[in-house]
Structure 1
Amino acid sequence: MTLTIERPAVAAFATRPVAVVAVALAAVLTALSGRYGFHRDELYFLVAGDHPAWGYVDQPPLTPLAARLSTAVFGDSPAGLRAVATAACAAIVVLAAAVCRELGGSRRAQVLAAVFTAVSGFVLAVGHMVSTATFDVLAWLAVCWFVLRLLRTGDGRWWLGVGAALALALPNLWWQARHGWPQFTVAGGISADDGVENRLLFVPEQLLYLSPVFVPVWIAGGLRLWRDPELRWARAFAPAYLILCVLVLASGGKPYYALPLLVVLLAAGCERYAARPRDTIVPVALTAALTALLSLPVLPPGAVSVVNAVNPEQGEQIGWPRLADATAAAWSRIPEGDRGRAVLLAQNYGEAGALAHYGPSRGLPAPYSGHMSFYDWGPPPDSADGPILLVRQREADGIEAHFTGCRRVGTVDNGHGLDNEEQQAAIVLCAGPAAPWSTLWPSLRHFY
């Protein structure tokens, strides 16, 4: 049904300049996509993509599926994997401009919305690497645009867009319900381990995620949505952001969960600055330089420690082949006659993903892990009652209590002195499991 509602006319979409911004961003991301290496989460997605399902304990199926498709088309490399993230990031920029248009933004304001979004730190970060946030931001920003189109035009056909976006979640909801809602368990673990930190950092990170320079823009956007009589139909988006912030704070969730609505506020505020776009050139250039340094692999690997304290995800792209090298050297210490009964076990999904990706060329068997969905792809057979080569983070020695005769036989060094999560990880050789794997496996499951 089509409703007849009088709404202010909107400007024509700034197709060409917005496309130039999106293409320029895609070109930068493509040029840098092959530096450093896979992120730990990307290595996990690659393995998950080889175990297709309607859901996983810690994520919906879209990200592993996208990872599998991207590498199938563009090659099994960081650049090939990240092609899909680059495309999603370009789409986010276009959607930001489209949201600005729906909120009465002029063509200049639309271009500003595209530029501001393109140089924002978190947007660059999720565009550089494949992550669940990459597609979360894209999907929720698309939903916001569909809702704005619906509210502005009164055309009920836009419900189809909203419904289609939400329908993507149904298979995962069905899977989660059948498996006892494990994602709530994962979320509870995040809240228990990082909830206090997430709450303390929530406000600072809201100010930093896009850019401190853009804070006046999105505050102006929120006030415009709330006060401007011509935008009364879209007023709900201003308190919606605040309500979402309260919910994220209460649950101890990640501060970036509120980012899509923050982009809407940013887009709404661009009209105020459209009359004097030259005044934004220097702030935007400084923002682009700083966010590129923090979010993109522009530094030599040996210098990543400079930014790793601010954005530790940079460091999680470095050192995985060397972890596989050290593991292969330790595996060679197992007598050849015992290797058929031996097990390669990783403490976390990053280690397991790296060994799955880099291990075969180094003579390593498929790894097992009790972490996240890797647990569901195990356990080893009970006939594997021989030695266990365990790869674990340096302080996670509690896992060794499940095995016998454990001794440290190697240490991981990423070669750059970078203090990331796997630097100085231990490689431990154990004589065997303390019980059959079928009995032992449930006690090895962990979500965080």
Structure 2
Amino acid sequence: MIERRRFAWLPVGVVAAAVTVLLLVTANGYGYHRDELYFRMLGMHPQWGYVDQPPFTPLMARAGIELFGDHVWAMRVPAAVLLGLAALMAAAIAREVGGGAVAQTLAASGALSAVPLSGAHVSSTADTDLLVWLGVIFFVIRALLHDNPRAWLGAGLVTGLGLYNKHLVLLLLLCLGASLLLAGPRRVLLSPWLWAGVGLAVLIGLPNLIYQVANDFPQAKMAEAVAENKGDDSRTLLLPLQLVLLAVPPIWVAGIVTLLRDRELRRIRALAVAYPMMVLLVFVIAGQPYYTMGLLYGLFAIGAVPTERWVRGHRTRQVFVGASVVILTAFGVVTALPLVPPKTFAGLNETIADQVGWSEYVRQVAAVYATLPPDEQRKAVLFTGNYGEAGALDRYGVGLPPVYSGQNELHHYGPPPDDKTVAIVVFQAPPTVLGGTCEARAALHNSEGVENEELEAKVYVCHLAEPWHTLWPRVQHYD
């Protein structure tokens, strides 16, 4: 049986604290991400689920606002803490497979890679999901490698809680179950403790699951829309992006090889088999390339253990690995966090581009509204093509009419009153869906010169020919 070493609290704690502090001190950089503006709106309408996601991330954003005020950095505080916890969990996984202080610290350092930092900087669903997947992997290793069947209850607890953030953890369970059938140990699938863990996950996640059933599985429809709109690009980028999701890819490759070759780790080799299954499954469903991140980080943590053995007593190897970690971590920090002007890496990191220009765009919409005669202003509402635009107008549009959108959950917050016959519309294409007469009055632009989706948008003034209650079903769309 693998011997568990002492947990290296000092070096691991330093890395985890550095992750959180780094995110906190840069939290006010750039501006809101489009998803954060959306989460801010959703958080004001708490419920068990939304058409495009479970409730945890919007409510976490709401908690940050309630505690620290309505500021962009307030929404980012919880995410910074969660990524620090993910670093600790990665170190704990390395410890479970025999890693000492070096392996544990190396595993924790994976949180300083570009993709985890990007996700945590903008308060996304991905940073919480990362912690959930690592938690499930931790308890799976405890159950299988250390013959602790009660650990399946821990995996079930984490899964059930994780369902309130994102349903992607079900992909992990599906791939792990199939991998256990292929690679063993198969008899564990008959364990009453495993099925008790499954039952616990279902019980904890039941309210969110009931919401899905009661609303005709809206997130399944959302997944279909994402696959249709972004599926081709996702499939093209899936394999190349696996090499940049975490710094020092040879470490997670070492994790896969070790699981397949090391007899002492034979009972958890299903984790290695699960990864190619996961890649194939994500390809089939046209999921986003980062969907594999949680499992990949678990393999990275396991790979830190043979890396520790490989460098032990070899000064040259120690310098090589240390320099690789430092250089790639520094690259990740600079490309993910607001340390340089946004235009520098906006083309490389779309997350940066989506944080630029929102307050400027609102001022440009406000300027169009100001040109309307007073009688038309009284009849006006704002209508946007996407939730980023709606969220920005809701956040910065002081003195402007109420804002509506047909995208995703925001469709449920309409329609506008029928007596509002004038619409200030922000759309990427002429808003023919509204009918009536529409005139383009402005084109959105930002002073940073960053190219993002909003540069394709124009501001229209539309005079409607039919009431909103008849228009509203036609404007609904998922994306």
Same fold? TM cut 0.5: yes
- Distance in structure 2 (CA, Å) of the matches to 1:143 and 1:280: 28
2:92 maps to 1:54:
no
Task: Tell me if the contact between 2:91 and 2:105 (Cα under 8 Å) persists in the aligned partners.
Answer: yes
Query: Following TM superposition, by how much is the alpha carbon of 1:323 offset from its aligned partner in structure 2, in angstroms?
Result: 0.8
Task: Tell me if the contact between 1:89 and 1:126 (Cα under 8 Å) persists in the aligned partners.
Answer: no
Please report the RMSD computed on the Cα atoms of aligned residues, expressed in angstroms: 1.4
Instruction: Tell me the amino acid that sits aligned with residue 70 of structure 2.
Output: D
Unaligned stretches of 5+ residues in structure 1: 1-6
Task: Tell me if the contact between 2:380 and 2:401 (Cα under 8 Å) persists in the aligned partners.
Answer: no
- Distance in structure 1 (CA, Å) of the matches to 2:41 and 2:28: 19
Task: Tell me if the contact between 1:405 and 1:431 (Cα under 8 Å) persists in the aligned partners.
Answer: yes
Query: Following TM superposition, by how much is the alpha carbon of 1:58 offset from its aligned partner in structure 2, in angstroms?
Result: 0.9
- The aligned counterpart of 1:25 is 19
- The aligned counterpart of 1:176 is 212
2:224 maps to 1:193:
no
1:419 alignment partner, SS class: coil
Cα deviation digits, residues 137-171 of structure 1 (max 9, x gap): 11111111121122233333323322222223223
2:428 maps to 1:390:
no
- Distance in structure 2 (CA, Å) of the matches to 1:294 and 1:392: 30
- The aligned counterpart of 2:250 is 216
- Distance in structure 1 (CA, Å) of the matches to 2:401 and 2:150: 53
2:275 alignment partner, SS class: helix
Structure 1 runs of 4+ aligned residues shifted over 4 Å read: none
- Distance in structure 1 (CA, Å) of the matches to 2:388 and 2:101: 44
Give the direction of change, closer, same or farther, for the CA distance of 1:69–1:419 in structure 2 (3 Å limit).
same
- Distance in structure 1 (CA, Å) of the matches to 2:122 and 2:433: 36
Q: 1:279 aligns with which of 283, 307, 320?
A: 320
- The aligned counterpart of 2:191 is none
- Distance in structure 1 (CA, Å) of the matches to 2:402 and 2:13: 44
Task: Tell me if the contact between 1:199 and 1:249 (Cα under 8 Å) persists in the aligned partners.
Answer: yes
- Distance in structure 2 (CA, Å) of the matches to 1:167 and 1:88: 17
1:166 alignment partner, SS class: helix
Query: Following TM superposition, by how much is the alpha carbon of 1:172 offset from its aligned partner in structure 2, in angstroms?
Result: 2.2
Cα deviation digits, residues 284-333 of structure 1 (max 9, x gap): 221122112221111124xx2x3222211101101000011011111112
Q: 1:307 aligns with which of 345, 348, 352?
A: 345
Task: Tell me if the contact between 2:258 and 2:306 (Cα under 8 Å) persists in the aligned partners.
Answer: no
Within 5 Å, give how 1:336-351 maps onto structure 2: 336-351=374-389
Q: 2:334 aligns with which of 293, 307, 312?
A: 293
- The aligned counterpart of 2:476 is 445
- Distance in structure 2 (CA, Å) of the matches to 1:98 and 1:342: 56
- Distance in structure 1 (CA, Å) of the matches to 2:432 and 2:256: 53
1:428 alignment partner, SS class: strand
- The aligned counterpart of 2:145 is 152
Q: 1:266 aligns with which of 294, 300, 321?
A: 300
- Distance in structure 2 (CA, Å) of the matches to 1:159 and 1:330: 58
2:216 alignment partner, SS class: coil
- The aligned counterpart of 2:74 is 80
Task: Tell me if the contact between 1:119 and 1:287 (Cα under 8 Å) persists in the aligned partners.
Answer: no
Instruction: Tell me the amino acid that sits aligned with residue 409 of structure 2.
Output: S
TM-score if structure 1 supplies the norm length? 0.93
- Distance in structure 1 (CA, Å) of the matches to 2:456 and 2:294: 37
2:153 maps to 1:121:
no
- Distance in structure 2 (CA, Å) of the matches to 1:176 and 1:51: 17
Query: Following TM superposition, by how much is the alpha carbon of 1:338 offset from its aligned partner in structure 2, in angstroms?
Result: 2.9
- The aligned counterpart of 1:4 is none
Task: Tell me if the contact between 1:334 and 1:387 (Cα under 8 Å) persists in the aligned partners.
Answer: no
- Distance in structure 2 (CA, Å) of the matches to 1:9 and 1:359: 59
Within 5 Å, give how 1:36-51 maps onto structure 2: 36-51=30-45
Task: Tell me if the contact between 1:119 and 1:284 (Cα under 8 Å) persists in the aligned partners.
Answer: no
- The aligned counterpart of 2:238 is 202
2:432 maps to 1:400:
yes
Task: Tell me if the contact between 2:436 and 2:466 (Cα under 8 Å) persists in the aligned partners.
Answer: no
- Distance in structure 2 (CA, Å) of the matches to 1:111 and 1:10: 15
Moved more, 173-182 or 349-358: 173-182
2:3 maps to 1:9:
yes
Query: Following TM superposition, by how much is the alpha carbon of 1:234 offset from its aligned partner in structure 2, in angstroms?
Result: 1.1
Instruction: Tell me the amino acid that sits aligned with residue 259 of structure 1.
Output: M
- Distance in structure 1 (CA, Å) of the matches to 2:376 and 2:347: 43
- The aligned counterpart of 2:102 is 108
- Distance in structure 1 (CA, Å) of the matches to 2:120 and 2:276: 26
Within 5 Å, give how 1:249-264 maps onto structure 2: 249-264=283-298
2:277 alignment partner, SS class: helix
- Distance in structure 1 (CA, Å) of the matches to 2:65 and 2:288: 28
- Distance in structure 2 (CA, Å) of the matches to 1:85 and 1:51: 20
Task: Tell me if the contact between 1:63 and 1:131 (Cα under 8 Å) persists in the aligned partners.
Answer: yes
Unaligned stretches of 5+ residues in structure 2: 164-204
- Distance in structure 1 (CA, Å) of the matches to 2:426 and 2:232: 29
2:161 maps to 1:162:
no
- The aligned counterpart of 2:197 is none
- Distance in structure 1 (CA, Å) of the matches to 2:361 and 2:2: 59
Query: Following TM superposition, by how much is the alpha carbon of 1:425 offset from its aligned partner in structure 2, in angstroms?
Result: 2.2
- Distance in structure 2 (CA, Å) of the matches to 1:34 and 1:13: 33
Task: Tell me if the contact between 2:46 and 2:55 (Cα under 8 Å) persists in the aligned partners.
Answer: yes
Task: Tell me if the contact between 1:409 and 1:429 (Cα under 8 Å) persists in the aligned partners.
Answer: yes
- The aligned counterpart of 2:260 is 226
- Distance in structure 1 (CA, Å) of the matches to 2:379 and 2:157: 49
Query: Following TM superposition, by how much is the alpha carbon of 1:341 offset from its aligned partner in structure 2, in angstroms?
Result: 2.3
Query: Following TM superposition, by how much is the alpha carbon of 1:401 offset from its aligned partner in structure 2, in angstroms?
Result: 4.0
2:351 alignment partner, SS class: coil
Task: Tell me if the contact between 2:11 and 2:101 (Cα under 8 Å) persists in the aligned partners.
Answer: no
Query: Following TM superposition, by how much is the alpha carbon of 1:241 offset from its aligned partner in structure 2, in angstroms?
Result: 1.1
2:449 maps to 1:420:
no
Task: Tell me if the contact between 2:405 and 2:411 (Cα under 8 Å) persists in the aligned partners.
Answer: yes
2:417 maps to 1:381:
yes
- Name the count of aligned residue pairs: 429
2:232 alignment partner, SS class: helix
Task: Tell me if the contact between 1:382 and 1:436 (Cα under 8 Å) persists in the aligned partners.
Answer: yes
